[in-house]
Amino acid sequence: MTPTERQFLIETLCEDLVPMIMEEYHLTDKQALDKLYKSQTFAKIEDFETGLYYQGAVYVFEFFKEEFSR
């Protein structure tokens, strides 16, 4: 997979995650993006070794919610 293809998958995943975050946490789109980009989950999404960028949004959202339930 090329870096461009991987970046596309990351961006697409984030586009799917933001509405979920907005609904779950009652945030604006900007607040949801900030929460996502500052999360450990996003760091894992960007880490090629984890393969998390290749997973579905619902699956990744469960990781995200777990991170903020602690």
Q: Supply the pLDDT for residue 25.
A: 97
- Tens digit of each residue's pLDDT (9 = 90 or more) over 43-66: 999 999 999 999 999 999 999 999
Residue indicated by tokens 């602690």: 70
Q: What are the sequence ranges of the domains in the chain? A: 26-70
Among residues 39, 35, 33, 29, the alpha carbon closest in space to that of 11 is found at 33
Q: What SS3 state is found at 38?
A: coil
Q: What angle, rounded to 10 degrees, do the helices at 3-25 and 29-37 form? A: 120
Which has more confidence, 23 or 69? 23
Q: Are 52 and 66 in contact (CB under 8 A)?
A: no
